[in-house]
Amino acid sequence: MNDIQPGLPVQQQLDLLKRGVVDLVSEEDLKARLERGTPLRVKLGADPTRPDLHLGHAVILRKMRQFQDLGHKVIMLIGDFTAMIGDPSGKSKTRPPVTLEQTRANAQSYLEQCRLILRGEPEVLELRFNSEWLEPMGYADVIRLASRYTVARIMERDDFKKRFESGTPISLHELLYPLTQGYDSVALEADVELGGTDQLFNNLVGRALQRDYDQAPQIVLTLPLLVGLDGVEKMSKSLDNYIGLTDAPDVMFAGLMKVPDPLLDNYFTLLTDLPREEIERLLAGHPVEAHIRLAREVTGWLHPDADLDAALDRFRSVAKGGIPQNIPQVTVAAGELNEAGRVSAARLVALAGLEPSNGAARKLIQNRGLKIDGEVYADPQGSLSIPAGGLVLQKGKDKFVRVQLDG
């Protein structure tokens, strides 16, 4: 990202902060607080139920970085306590809770990845855990908090309404989630809360609770959920339509080259600093050139030392059916071989890290999704010997691993 200097005129700050935004409640409030000329407290809450981040998370982290570069303090709030409830936003059923220990372990990986985008100076970054104020609360405190909001208001939330009308169970602890998230804003005295569009209701609850606690209500700013590479669902690891924040430069570059054409505008707007005029010029030209520019901009931002020309050459080689150079290597222990010196093909795929289990590997092979040394391998029960030079396993178009025998 381009560094932004504090002291920009208020209107320029406002225009920058509004880029890519879906909901802003309210623009007048944000402008008034910017005009005060004092640093704002900008909150982003995250329940670290999964340790890995992708470019969908980068959309909001980029907005946080913009606030930092304008001289404001962003608060990375780790919802270690609320993660035990499980955020029901957008869910059609109760989400399984996780333990406090699990959330804190995931948080370490989460924070390391966030620092790829966020500045770490204490004057612009504050790290907090909501167990600080939620864990000490007693039963009477929870009752008092619950008295500040009505069931009717909670049931206005779209996912709760749909589940209630369809007869899908809603646990009482889920109804408390918006209140506990909203109370975080009270505890932190947040000026601004960021979130995806699925968090609008929860963030507005925080705004209402702050009024009830005699605080100035926070500005609520939401950003769109980045659609994944399938062009249909939001980016998600579980849907395998994602580009990881820590993916190697070649992998990230190749993933960005596969962004569906209709999403190019969205990706340029949310993940780059390119001016609107430049984006429109790229969109009016050849889609391949637009993809290359997108891949260069985003990969170069997250991997400033990467050889982007080499990444493009590798992508073109793979697109033509070739096997690229410098692919990851995995060594297979001799103990994995049977008496005939062979190993199950499914087991080899799992050992190479292309699938999480032997069963998933067999399904991949059965669906003709595996190539070995450039040729489709379609026997899910087959076995292989590993020659001295190793074997190149390929999943899909751009995931390659060379497997070699130990020793």
pLDDT at 389 over 90: no
Same domain, 360 and 333: yes
d(CA 339, CA 111): 47
pLDDT score for 327: 78
Say whether the peptide bond before residue 26 is cis (omega within 30 degrees of 0). yes
Band (pLDDT 50/70/90 cuts) for residue 51 is low
CATH number at residue 107: 3.40.50.620
CATH number at residue 305: 1.10.240.10
pLDDT score for 59: 94
Band (pLDDT 50/70/90 cuts) for residue 377 is very high
Please report where in the chains the tokens 């969205």 appear, as a residue: 266
Among 159, 188, 223, give the residue marking a domain's end.
Answer: 223
Q: What does residue 77 show for φ and ψ, rounded to 5 degrees?
A: -95, 115
Among 319, 346, 366, give the residue marking a domain's end.
Answer: 319
Residue 58, classed as helix, strand or coil, is helix
For residue 136, give the amino acid letter.
P
Which residue range forms the structural domain that includes residue 166?
10-223
Asked whether the beta carbons of 97 and 55 are under 8 A apart, the reply is no
Residues annotated within the binding site for ATP are 237
- Beta-ladder partners of 189: none
d(CA 174, CA 406): 51
Residue 30 domain-assigned (yes or no): yes
Same domain, 181 and 95: yes
Q: Helices then strands (H, E): number in the chain?
A: 18, 13
pLDDT at 95 over 60: no
Asked whether the beta carbons of 44 and 206 are under 8 A apart, the reply is no
Across all residues in the chain, what is the average pLDDT?
88
Which residue pairs from 248-251 have beta carbons closer than 8 angstroms and sit at least 24 positions apart in sequence?
249/299, 249/303, 249/306, 249/307, 249/308, 249/311, 250/310, 250/311, 250/314, 250/315, 250/324, 251/398, 251/399
pLDDT at 98 over 70: no
For residue 11, give the amino acid letter.
Q
6-50 residue pLDDT tens: 678 999 999 999 999 999 999 999 999 999 999 999 999 987 666
Residue 224, classed as helix, strand or coil, is coil
Tally of domains within the chain: 3
Residues annotated within the binding site are 237
174-206 residue pLDDT tens: 888 889 999 999 999 999 999 999 889 989 999
For residue 273, give the amino acid letter.
D
Asked whether the beta carbons of 406 and 335 are under 8 A apart, the reply is no
Residue 383 domain-assigned (yes or no): yes
